[in-house]
Structure 1
């Protein structure tokens, strides 16, 4: 197979901006949907239990559909696959608002989650391709752009909700605008050639073995993320007996440190390498968990949740990058890691609640602290493939700039 010439620096800069815009568009769909959940609940006539069932469907759809992404990528090519999958995802935003009952809403959210997961795999695969061509880390900032898009979508959604706008009209207009923006952005991303000699992946590809350990590291990070995001406010209110303001501030502290760390994380990864960055992040997250569990004061808990967010922020972007380097089929490996991490996000909030019901919320966050500690031990699987194969016990990690 003939090697593809390296893109010119200007072309690479355009590709990076374009894939960053894709991540932003993807996040904006999530933010747009989240702000109108109360309207959708009222429109479908659901109680809290039925809504909780419906909101499990996106993660279920994503987990089942993501293994299909490798086949789609191989069949149509990376950029064409991303163009189609991203458009399906943005347009799926229209569906939930038109669901008149629980069954229809579950079906709509299953499609919403399935298209989200497949487009997520496609954009992360091209993000890793761009990172490899540039010779330095960009995945953390790409995920930071996803967070920025989610904030933008939620801000617009909040204004629409405050104005009393019908969510069906809001989501229709948002979907059309985001579809147009996404298609424009995809036009600038890299279009790496497929390997004509490579066999087509199966229609429904199981996660490759190489992705399992990487996925488990991502599982621990996403579990800590989901638990902290959903339960930090409840912890301050119920365990520390604070008011609504400090309880809301806990969630804000966590989300803010996550976003800032992702936007700034690439420089840290380039300087210290993926393994040392994740080990340091695991140490910060563990320290934050200990603050939450052992020093039961509101200020300490706020600092603790902030440290957890700071510590786990870059793990998932680095897990996707490591998955892409772990075998001959990057999209399939990324799909495997994404399936594992999505599963973690699905079970984390309910698992924390179950443990809290059986014991206490303090014990639940003790579990989160233990999982954060595993990041320190498991970080080595996120290093360059050749380093892991040649010296698995070596603590040194190569910077992103010398990745193959």
Structure 2
């Protein structure tokens, strides 16, 4: 197309919601729900296997290793078989893993179960993001942010109901109920997931080569640098409010709650904003908001001021990752799965690896300096923002 006007006109006349969009949204919901349901099970898992805090830390690291090892593998399989096949089969393999985690009786079987759980969560993550890119191309409109919002919603449902259900119906009954609900979501999604063909160039090579182009690696840095603050808020936000700003236990819980709430709300709005203003402008505004949010947290004089900072950071970070994932899936001459596996692996390593490093640094500097300092990472994202233009190629 030689001008943007017809492009916008055609995209606004297209269906806003299709079967394929519903299918991939259900996959995101199910993946988030499984992770959310796992969080309240962790204390029982640790006591059943008699794990110390450091042993539990190693178990959680095993979850992360599973993700980081299976994500690139999923990328190569998507290049060979298409994202719909890999999404479906990884979701089926993922479904019984929560039962495994509930019924293992030794540290070694627990380590194998948590490795599989983390690995299949990660592999499915790459595949469903690649499928969302395919749906964006077929619909010629942005859907990635709302897909990530459904993931957040799944996590919220899984984590908020988990403790209550474990207390009232027991550990095994909770795991069985979660497994059944996850299976129902897969059955509902199965016929509607958009079937995409494998990438012709990559199918020949099996998609096993690491991309030589710097583009996915640079977009991966964008994802990494805004997921490090996300991991920091998840793991250290409540502690910062409690220890450095003298907040009550109840109030300190609002750090991640404020961040999650604004992030989920903005993700449901993010696609419309991106279609209206373009990916580059949306990403730049989001980056500036998150820089202000992180500085507000770092320089906060009291807990309410910091909580406002967490809420602002949620607004800012909300749409950076979905835009980075869309851009990675639309890189010229590259299979969506290959670009995405690089970016998701780099991005999620920020959530998995950074929090422990932050703990080490915080012993010497305090958490206020850490949160203020994390704004420097978002400045790098702002510098790399022109790369977000690749996210818009799905619309032309």
TM-score relative to the length of structure 2: 0.91
Could you tell me which runs of 5 or more consecutive residues in structure 2 were left unpaired when the two chains were aligned: 1-12
Could you tell me which runs of 5 or more consecutive residues in structure 1 were left unpaired when the two chains were aligned: 1-7, 386-399
Q: How do 1:159-238 and structure 2 match up within 5 A? A: 159-163=164-168, 165-166=170-171, 168-196=172-200, 198-202=202-206, 204-206=208-210, 208-209=212-213, 210-238=215-243
Q: 3-state SS of the aligned residue for 1:296? A: coil
**Is the CA contact (8 Å cut-off) linking 1:91 and 1:176 kept in structure 2?**
no
Q: How do 1:365-384 and structure 2 match up within 5 A? A: 365-384=371-390
Q: How do 1:76-155 and structure 2 match up within 5 A? A: 76-155=81-160
**Is the CA contact (8 Å cut-off) linking 1:289 and 1:366 kept in structure 2?**
yes
**Is the CA contact (8 Å cut-off) linking 1:293 and 1:362 kept in structure 2?**
yes
Change (3 A) 1:324 1:208: farther
Is 1:47 paired with 2:39?
no
Change (3 A) 1:124 1:208: farther
Which 4+ residue blocks in structure 1 deviate beyond 6 angstroms? 8-12
Is 1:253 paired with 2:258?
yes
Counterpart in the other structure of 2:69: 64
Q: Kindly state the Cα deviation for residue 178 of structure 1 after the two structures are TM-superposed.
A: 0.8
TM-score relative to the length of structure 1: 0.89
**Is the CA contact (8 Å cut-off) linking 1:44 and 1:100 kept in structure 2?**
yes
Counterpart in the other structure of 2:395: 403
**Is the CA contact (8 Å cut-off) linking 1:320 and 1:337 kept in structure 2?**
yes
Is 1:355 paired with 2:361?
yes
CA offset digits 1:146-177 (Å, max 9, x no partner): 111111222331221231502x3321332233
Change (3 A) 1:128 1:195: closer
Aligned pairs, how many? 382
Is 1:17 paired with 2:35?
no
**Is the CA contact (8 Å cut-off) linking 2:263 and 2:314 kept in structure 1?**
yes
Distance 2:155 2:148 in 1: 11
Is 1:334 paired with 2:340?
yes
Q: Kindly state the Cα deviation for residue 196 of structure 1 after the two structures are TM-superposed.
A: 4.7
